[in-house]
Chains A and B, each alone.
Chain A
Amino acid sequence: MIRYLIRRVLYAVPIALAVGFVCFMLVQIAPGDPINAIVPADAPGEVVEQVRREYGLDRPLPVQFGIWLMKVVQGDLGRSLATGRTVWSDLSTAIGNTLMLAVAAALLGFTLGCVLGGLAGTFRGSLLDRVAVSAAVAGVSVPHYWLGMVLVVIFSVQLNWLPAMGAGPGGSSDWAWDWEHLQHLVLPAVTLSVIPMGIVTRTVRGIVAEIMNQEFVVALRGKGLTRRGVFLHVVKNAAPNALAVMGLQLGYLMGGSILVETVFSWPGTGLLLNAAIFQRDLPVLQGTILVLAMFFVALNLVVDLVQTALDPRIRRS
């Protein structure tokens, strides 16, 4: 296990470096001079030249990447062109809000997905199975930004039950554990939860159905084990793969919440990205994507390690 752990962690290092390189290249592929990602467009010429030398932008690309990487490793993501604040200061609040939204959506989606998928896999071909499969297909096919709008139309415009925008009363962007903030969380979280609901339902249904077909389940039943006993055996066998899928889904939710955040003006990383794109605020764009992607790389690593710890058979293959 220790050897596997070391190997897997070492494998994540080149991936993280390569992800960093892709993020570095984002500024390079952007139209215009990369210097625009550091100084405002209206800066005087000599300042631009000075900054260009300071940042090493007159050096070859690999050297530039090295310089950039050293800064990033030290936690320096640069400064926002729009606000002048450090990228990290805006990003840290936004990440908290996105994490809040993603975790809420994940809890909702995973619970529903496991229940629906588990029941559908156990009672294949039943009416319940068909309902679960339809819900899963709808969940993965629905444009969730549109679902968000429909929910706003129903629950905010027509029924006036829930707020349509923001993360708290009066457009506050700081989270607090009170009733008003929770009300703001409901619609975005429900909207975002349909994707993991669909995917987890499909996955769990497939895994459970496959396990139920295996001989050992028949044997367990044959020897007279209670339903609860059989259920525990199935859960134990389904858990590693199901948990792996759910872990990755959490990462997709973190990185994919931009559309939902835009619909609900949820002050997270998605809204930050959206603003950065339209203000051509490249440092914020680059920093946000880098941090989200690194989170995903780390999550991948944790999922792999947990899955291997739960199911030693994976390590051997």
Chain B
Amino acid sequence: MSTTTTAPRRPPTAAEAELAVQARQAPVRSQGYWAGVWKRLRRDPVTIACALILLLMALAIVFAPLLAPHDPYQGSMLRRLRAIGTPGYPLGTDELGRDMLTRLLYGGRLSWFMGILPVAIAFVVGTALGVLAGYAGGKVNMAIMRVTDVFYAFPSVLLAVAISGALGAGILNAILALTLVFIPPIIRVAESVTTGVRSLDFVDAARASGAGAFTVVRVHVLGNVLGPIFVYATSLISVSMILASGLSFLGLGTRPPEPEWGLMLNTLRTAIYVQPWVAVLPGACIFVTSICFNLLSDGLRQAMDVKA
């Protein structure tokens, strides 16, 4: 630092003047970036359609109590396994005579919650650890990345089943297991983008001008790495939805009589010989949600110009 303060004042060189101009323009450019992203998104009908479908589903499950025609727990042995299109039961009834439409609306709540929450927690924890590893480098990097390698040595489904199987069935255990599955890949992505950004000139410049590590990370690094990490995290939601419902399907997540798509699919398995098309409805909901999140993530990646 002492060299900069004791150096005699001199007029800025052309390169420095250019930098100063760029620095002053920076906020304008960053607005331009998001405007560009939005402009590209608007021209992408598939992404817009997926976003709309997801928005509709989100509204439907949030307002399930207002929309649902029946009680999600109240069944009747007299009207078990009615077909799709039965008057009063537009999507039929399940194996205990409960209205399918109602159960699907309420079921979305737990399925979405269990699918999205693990990715959200993993995004926060994984970004923190990954940026720390990438920025600190050296031994810290070694320690974090080698532990990450160990989790990479398990296929993801196996790891989720192993952890939630050992902990026992339950929503919280399933969420914990899935969070542990998604932290390592997010750490890897965060570490690699942070390492890339750290070696750029403006980070060196910030450090040279006396900014502390915390300030450099907060102001200069995070702004440049959060976008790519976020896009990557959104691509995990699709997998997370399938795995979360999969754990419930195995009996490791939600417990009956709670409505959840994966669990409903499991309890309706025996009904495929009676009402096959009613029995596969919950899976169709998982599929639509998962494919929309996948396509939305692809669209975001392209619009935000993030390399895969």
Residues of A within 8 A of B (CB): 14-16, 18-19, 22-23, 26-27, 29-31, 137-138, 140-147, 149-150, 152-153, 157-158, 206, 251-252, 254-256, 258-259, 262-263, 273-274, 276-278, 282, 285, 289, 292-293, 296-297, 300
Residue pair A259, B246 in contact (C-beta under 8 Å):
yes
Residue pair B157, A252 in contact (C-beta under 8 Å):
yes
Chain A residue numbers with a CB within 8 Å of B290 are 141-143
Residue pair B163, A26 in contact (C-beta under 8 Å):
yes
Chain A residue numbers with a CB within 8 Å of B168 are 30-31
CA distance A254 to B167 in the complex (A): 22
Cβ < 8 Å to A, chain B residues 235-286 = 238-239, 242, 245-246, 249-252, 262, 265, 269, 272-273, 276-277, 279-280, 282-284, 286
Chain B residue numbers with a CB within 8 Å of A141 are 238, 242, 287, 290-291, 293-294
Q: In angstroms, how far is the closest chain A Cβ from the Cβ of B180? A: 10
Residue pair B149, A143 in contact (C-beta under 8 Å):
no
**Contact partner of B155 among A137, A206, A256, A285, CB < 8 A?**
A256
Q: In this assembly, does B7 line the interface, its C-beta being within 8 Å of a C-beta of chain A?
A: no
Residue pair A158, B276 in contact (C-beta under 8 Å):
yes
Residue pair A27, B166 in contact (C-beta under 8 Å):
yes
Residue pair A256, B291 in contact (C-beta under 8 Å):
no
Tally A-B pairs: CB < 8 A. Answer: 136
User: Could you give 10 example pairs across A and B, Cβ below 8 Å?
Assistant: A26-B162, A27-B166, A31-B167, A137-B294, A140-B294, A141-B294, A150-B283, A152-B272, A157-B272, A263-B269
**Contact partner of B157 among A142, A258, A278, CB < 8 A?**
A258
CA distance A206 to B151 in the complex (A): 27
CA distance A162 to B43 in the complex (A): 46
Chain B residue numbers with a CB within 8 Å of A150 are 280, 283
With contact pairs A140-B238, A146-B287 given, residues A22 and B249 touching in the complex (Cβ less than 8 Å): no
Q: In angstroms, how far is the closest chain B Cβ from the Cβ of A117? A: 15
CA distance A277 to B252 in the complex (A): 9
Residue pair B250, A289 in contact (C-beta under 8 Å):
no
CA distance A171 to B293 in the complex (A): 39
Residue pair A137, B166 in contact (C-beta under 8 Å):
no
Q: In this assembly, does B33 line the interface, its C-beta being within 8 Å of a C-beta of chain A?
A: no
Q: In this assembly, does B153 line the interface, its C-beta being within 8 Å of a C-beta of chain A?
A: yes
Residue pair B157, A153 in contact (C-beta under 8 Å):
no
**Contact partner of A252 among B156, B162, B279, CB < 8 A?**
B156
| Nearest CB in chain B to that of A256: its residue | B157
Chain B residue numbers with a CB within 8 Å of A289 are 158, 162
Chain B residue numbers with a CB within 8 Å of A142 are 242, 287, 290-291
CA distance A222 to B178 in the complex (A): 52
Residues of B within 8 A of A (CB): 146, 149-151, 153-158, 161-163, 165-168, 238-239, 242, 245-246, 249-252, 262, 265, 269, 272-273, 276-277, 279-280, 282-284, 286-287, 290-291, 293-295, 298, 308
Q: In angstroms, how far is the closest chain A Cβ from the Cβ of B273? A: 6
**Contact partner of B250 among A30, A138, A152, A258, CB < 8 A?**
A258
Q: In angstroms, how far is the closest chain B Cβ from the Cβ of A257? A: 8
Residue pair A157, B273 in contact (C-beta under 8 Å):
yes
Chain A residue numbers with a CB within 8 Å of B272 are 149, 152-153, 157
Residue pair A145, B153 in contact (C-beta under 8 Å):
no
With contact pairs A30-B166, A141-B287 given, residues A19 and B154 touching in the complex (Cβ less than 8 Å): yes
Residue pair A254, B150 in contact (C-beta under 8 Å):
no
| Nearest CB in chain A to that of B282: its residue | A146
CA distance A293 to B294 in the complex (A): 28
Q: In angstroms, how far is the closest chain B Cβ from the Cβ of A144? A: 8
Chain B residue numbers with a CB within 8 Å of A255 are 154-155, 157-158
Residue pair B249, A259 in contact (C-beta under 8 Å):
yes
Residue pair B280, A143 in contact (C-beta under 8 Å):
no
Chain B residue numbers with a CB within 8 Å of A30 are 166-168
Chain B residue numbers with a CB within 8 Å of A293 are 153-155, 158
Q: In angstroms, how far is the closest chain B Cβ from the Cβ of A131? A: 15
| Nearest CB in chain B to that of A292: its residue | B158
Residue pair A259, B287 in contact (C-beta under 8 Å):
no
Max chain A Cβ within 10 angstroms of own Cβ: one of B154, B163, B249, B284: B154
- Top 8 nearest A-B pairs by Cβ distance? A146-B283, A255-B155, A255-B158, A256-B157, A141-B291, A153-B276, A18-B150, A277-B165
**Contact partner of B265 among A146, A292, A297, CB < 8 A?**
A146
Residue pair B165, A285 in contact (C-beta under 8 Å):
yes
Q: In angstroms, how far is the closest chain A Cβ from the Cβ of B275? A: 10
| Nearest CB in chain A to that of B149: its residue | A15
| Nearest CB in chain A to that of B265: its residue | A146
Residue pair A296, B153 in contact (C-beta under 8 Å):
yes
Q: In angstroms, how far is the closest chain B Cβ from the Cβ of A89? A: 21
With contact pairs A31-B167, A255-B157, A292-B158 given, residues A22 and B150 touching in the complex (Cβ less than 8 Å): yes
Chain A residue numbers with a CB within 8 Å of B165 are 273, 276-277, 285
| Nearest CB in chain B to that of A11: its residue | B149
Chain A residue numbers with a CB within 8 Å of B251 are 278
Chain B residue numbers with a CB within 8 Å of A144 are 242
Chain A residue numbers with a CB within 8 Å of B239 are 140
Chain A residue numbers with a CB within 8 Å of B279 are 149, 153
Chain A residue numbers with a CB within 8 Å of B252 are 277
Chain B residue numbers with a CB within 8 Å of A14 are 146
| Nearest CB in chain A to that of B290: its residue | A141
Residue pair B265, A300 in contact (C-beta under 8 Å):
no
Max chain A Cβ within 10 angstroms of own Cβ: one of B149, B153, B284, B293: B153
Chain A residue numbers with a CB within 8 Å of B150 are 15, 18-19, 22
Chain A residue numbers with a CB within 8 Å of B276 are 153, 157-158
